Structure 1
């Protein structure tokens, strides 16, 4: 029972579901959680900033204390130093504000530098050229922020959307995800002789949903912590490359918005970076991206974690003293299963049940009153992911990457080649008419 309040996974579930429940209750009572929904409007001139940011200051202060109190409380219960965490979180929050403001500047938007990409770039620059003090490190809880964001993501992804997407999205996502995973795993484990759990973690990061998959699968297969970190770094590097490269290629090939979104959804490695890339082509591309990346790929995290946990326990791990291997008991699988994935599904089911069982008027307002404050522009999910990507950038050391050698990069890059080529073939040739129609 202690794991229910001593593990980050469970706290991500409690916080994410707590937000959803509170949002639903407040909406039913005629209110919303909009007070902690803070998005910055686009601006051209920095002279406009006082007039734009000034009215948002009360919301920013409230959001700071709400997030700070909830996250610090969770960390305190888990035995982490509250003072150091809150101090680190404070600096991280200020950085997140700066990133969000920069992302709203039209100059940055014209360069396709949205807030998620800026968070990575700024974090990497600071992390590689400045010494990060210990008290700041205490606030950089990458996994905690991304897990919480993923649970909140479930609230914006009702099962009705999954049903409406049809079998096409699942077919394309499954073929490409499986092909990419097998390419990375085969090159990593059999050609380059990497440890099998390490190769599986790299494969999951490159084929399912990037950072969260690296974390979930790394935990499921009992990979070394440094191997999970390397996989995350590979995801970050290629996600940053693709957020610039894919839009350029989409325009060069003259693709439709729907096909562009689908290709980005099958070839990008991080949700936030992919959304930033797809958003450049409008709502149609964002819709097809969501179907491919979030519905088609991200939803398989739990399934892959379960399957690979069984494979790891049955085949990869050391034999016992008597020469036998540990049996993949339900207890072992449950221990390794990423609990935040459960929160993702529960949040999705909750929104679906409320929407389907309510009056048409009430259900129609769910988007504006519940899911938008959670996952829309300025929503809690966006802030959680911004904090996560800042942490990833700040903790990514290029010197450390070079120490890992070329093998992890080579294995991951093999998957990139498969991912991009297959994604292009499916999205723009085999299923071009389908995706073009969906994105119209």
Structure 2
């Protein structure tokens, strides 16, 4: 893509990040959540000019880059101590959420099979990214994709507000809150935002837990593709689907975590990397806020929202209870 087309939007993201940092210090609020709020206000109260759209859409790239750099601040020793329990929780909650949404959508609320599958993928794995990935493998209709994506975005907007409040009211530790957010919220951006809004430790655990869920997307896409292909009498998809859908930035995150844990990086270098990913997150979240459009959320039917709400309440309550008991 032409760099000149990206430049106006990139400047807008940088200005949004600077404004969020400045106002956060004056107002005493978290700068990451404020960046999302500024993007939301800009998109819904003013509107985003067409000339800014290409550059603003790069916010996912900056989020992924920030996550990779954050690997340098992770202690592999700490992760290995409790990682097995967290991984089991991730797999258990993911599988339970997927099955609950599928059963409710098909057997209770009578939604179309493909619609239920899109909602299940979005709620159990990684939000809109999972909706889009699964949609391509099961040949879902465009209106089904739009409804499922809008439903996921609705709950992204809600959980960004509700989770920090619940975490403060219950006095959750950074590890418990971050893991809870990572295992039960939908999209990666909101998870990272609420995690770091709580504390540095919560942000790290939220990111690691969410990356573990994201890594399951290839398996889920392959399973859905196989199911619908078999139902239609088509040939089964290749195992290469696993690699095609696997979020590659997870590998960068792990690689940098290994390098940092080996003691290769100096304290000055680690401080520079931390400053870099903190700024990348603010830039990314300013762009994330522009994706939450009220007009799109109003088009969401109540039935998909009720299905996802029930699943979210169940997974959120059960995972939080398990974490409090375990840690």
Bin the TM-score by the shorter chain.
0.7 to 0.9
Preserved CA contact (<8 Å) 2:135 2:145: yes
| 1:369 corresponds to 2:278 | no
Answer yes or no: is 1:91 the counterpart of 2:12. yes
- Deviation at residue 352 of structure 1 after TM alignment: 0.8
Distance in 2 (CA, whole Å) between partners of 1:193 and 1:145 is 39
Q: Given the superposition, is the C-alpha separation of residues 166 and 151 from structure 1 closer, same or farther in structure 2, using an over 3 Å criterion?
A: closer
CA distance in 1, matches of 2:260, 2:31: 32
Query: 1:389 and 1:263, CA in 2 relative to 1: closer, same or farther beyond 3 A?
Result: same
Inter-CA distance 127–281: structure 2 relative to 1 (3 Å threshold): closer
Q: CA deviation at 1:310?
A: 1.9
Q: Provide TM-score, normalisation by structure 1.
A: 0.62
Separation (CA, whole Å) in 2 of partners of 1:206 and 1:241: 14
Could you say which structure has the larger radius of gyration? Answer: 1
Residue 276 of structure 2 aligns with which residue?
379
Displacement after TM superposition at 1:158 (Å): 6.3
Aligned to 1:324: 233
- For the 8 Å contact 1:154–1:345, the answer to whether it is kept is no
The correspondence of residues 16-415 of structure 1 with structure 2, limited to 5 A, is: 75-76=1-2, 82-105=3-26, 107-109=27-29, 114-141=30-57, 142-157=59-74, 159-210=76-127, 213-214=130-131, 231=148, 233-253=150-170, 255=172, 258-271=175-188, 273-278=190-195, 282=199, 286-287=201-202, 290-291=204-205, 293-302=206-215, 304-317=216-229, 324-334=233-243, 336-338=244-246, 341-353=247-259, 355-356=261-262, 362-363=263-264, 365-366=265-266, 368-370=268-270, 372-374=271-273, 376=274, 378-380=275-277, 382-415=278-311
Q: Are residues 252 and 138 of structure 1, via their aligned partners in 2, closer, same or farther at CA, if it must alter by over 3 Å?
A: closer
Shift in Å at residue 101 of structure 1?
2.0
Secondary structure of the 2:237 match is coil
CA–CA separation in structure 2 for the residues paired with 1:154 and 1:226? 38
CA RMSD of the aligned region, Å? 3.5
Shift of 1:230: 5.3
Contact 1:268 1:274 (C-alpha < 8 Å) held by counterparts = yes
Using CA pairs below 8 Å that are at least 6 residues apart, which structure has the higher relative contact order? Answer: 2
Alignment TM-score, normalising by the size of structure 2: 0.80
Deviation at 1:98, TM superposition (A): 0.9
How far did residue 125 of structure 1 move? 2.0
**Alignment gaps of 5+ in structure 1:** 1-74, 77-81, 357-361, 436-440
Give the deviation of 1:151 after TM superposition.
Answer: 3.8
Q: Secondary structure at the match of 1:427?
A: helix
The answer to whether the Cα contact below 8 Å between 2:150 and 2:296 also exists between their aligned partners in 1 is no
